[in-house]
A = this chain, B = another copy of it.
Amino acid sequence: MLFCGISILDENFNLAHDMYVGVQGDRITYIGTEEPEQDFGRCYSGKGRFMMPGLYNSHAHSPMTLLRGYAENLSLQDWLHKKVFPFEARMLGEDIFKGSKLAIAEMLRFGTCSFSDMYYMGEDVFEAVAQTGIKCNFSRGVTVFDGGRYESQPAFEEAEKLLKNHHGGADGRFKLDLSIHAEYTSNPSVVASLARHASDRGLNIHIHLSETKDEHEGCKERHGKTPAKYFYDLGIFNSPTTAAHCVWLEDEDFDILFENNITVAACPASNLKLASGFARVEKMFDLGLKVAIGSDGAASNNNLDLFTDAYLFAILYKGVSGNPSAITPKEVLKAATRTGALAQGRDDSGIIKVGAKADLIVLDIKGPHMQPVHNMLNNIVYCARGNDVCLNMIDGRVLYEDGDFKSLDIEKVSYEAAKSTEAILARL
């Protein structure tokens, strides 16, 4: 496939106009201002279009689409204990599969090419990923609610099974990460054990970190240290780690994350909706931390359109820092793409570059909300929404184009998710 005469976000995250981009197999093999001599097959006209890397959703709980709109306008404790946990306790494998598939449909529609998912029953998420062509780093969040060790055992076993059966599966699109859900749902021996597992097996780690004030202050009471220090001391940060939220970090925590090369997955929509607090993302950028963007689950967002999250990311942390020149469009676009890819250990992805994986999206930039064009990067970050995505290509395969989902039956996916939801509610 050859994209002809198209504006692109180049490998330095600058604009380049009237470019030719050729895709062969799963790779970008040509980028230039001249039409290549080689035959790339289908020619895609770039008129009124803009190409950029597909988006990386760096913190998701994809099956939670089934809870979208279910638990609203509640305190965090009521949200969790009266609604979310009881609902989740009734979810079966088929529900996980259907909820995840609905999430994937939505992500494909709105330009996401890969997501970092933390949930359970990963076998069913794997099936959804394998069938639909999206990419996913899945982690089975280990939790120890009663302070004992035995409850974590099934999670370790599930992760071990996923590692054996599916890590690197679906043509490398599915990867297993390991996960401690959070400090407050773990104990030190389980954390240390998971840290060793990850290190021994060379796996990445995905955690929740200092999402709420209660969690952060509670950790200090329980352990005499912040969650970041707790995880550091127990060896978690010996493996490449994505830390979601990071709302309540203290000065020393920023240093720990920086020194250990941790990627923060900022979740601006979820933090606002659950009133969890305001992450100091401007400071993260100032300190050189790696910052990516996550949607969190659909029960606390509620839309998996990562363009909206990127827009929020672009404006919220200006407001929080009191500095309207903080967080540039280029920083936003990198956070939503390349930084997320690197956090997933996909070094050849999240960038429009010869040799990179052909994970790219095309936006229709002709809508009235995208006019006029003083600087296209500004319009992409501050004006575009997921609906402007008109093509989503992953590993060289077009999975969404102009309303057409190539790898799934959207009506069936929506219908089955609704049916699953009804069945879960009937079991409550």
Contact = CB atoms under 8 A, between A and B. Distances in A.
A374 interface: yes
Interface stretch (A39-47, A229-237, A361-369): A361-369
A382 to B, nearest CB: 4
A130 interface: no
A415 to B, nearest CB: 9
B418 A305 contact: no
A341 B122 CA distance: 49
Most chain B CB atoms below 10 A, which of A67, A302, A411: A302
Interface stretch (A70-78, A146-154, A189-197): A70-78
Contacts of A73: 324-329
B68 A379 contact: yes
Nearest to A301: B382
Contacts of A280: none
B325 A75 contact: yes
A417 to B, nearest CB: 6
B319 A272 contact: yes
B305 A69 contact: no
A317 to B, nearest CB: 9
Contacts of A303: 311, 369, 382-383, 385
B368 A308 contact: no
Contacts of A375: 69-70, 72
Given A69-B378, A315-B272, A318-B273, A366 B324 contact: no
Given A73-B329, A302-B382, A324-B74, A65 B371 contact: yes
Interface stretch (A102-110, A218-226, A284-292): A102-110
Contact of A325 (B74, B321, B322, B378): B74
Interface in A335-352: none
Contacts of A326: 73, 275
B414 A368 contact: yes
Interface in A165-212: none
A69 B324 contact: no
Interface in A242-273: 269, 271-273
Contact of A302 (B102, B379, B411): B379
Interface in A353-391: 366-369, 371-375, 378-379, 382-383, 385, 387
A319 B275 contact: yes
A307 to B, nearest CB: 10
A421 B372 contact: yes
A319 B275 CA distance: 4
A324 B76 contact: yes
Nearest to A380: B69
Contacts of A276: 319
Contacts of A315: 269, 272-273
A68 B322 CA distance: 21
A96 interface: no
Interface string A384-428: 010100000000000000000000001101100110011000000
B272 A316 contact: yes
Contacts of A269: 315
Contacts of A79: 324
B371 A414 contact: yes
Contact of A367 (B74, B109, B366): B109
Given A272-B318, A371-B418, 19 more contacts: A68-B372, A68-B383, A72-B375, A72-B378, A75-B325, A110-B369, A271-B319, A273-B314, A273-B319, A274-B318, A275-B319, A275-B322, A302-B379, A302-B383, A303-B383, A303-B385, A304-B369, A305-B385, A368-B414
19 contacts: A68-B371, A68-B374, A68-B379, A68-B383, A70-B375, A72-B375, A73-B324, A73-B325, A73-B327, A75-B323, A76-B324, A102-B371, A109-B367, A109-B368, A273-B315, A275-B326, A278-B319, A302-B379, A305-B369
| Nearest 5 A/B pairs, CB to CB | A69-B378, A272-B319, A387-B387, A302-B382, A272-B315
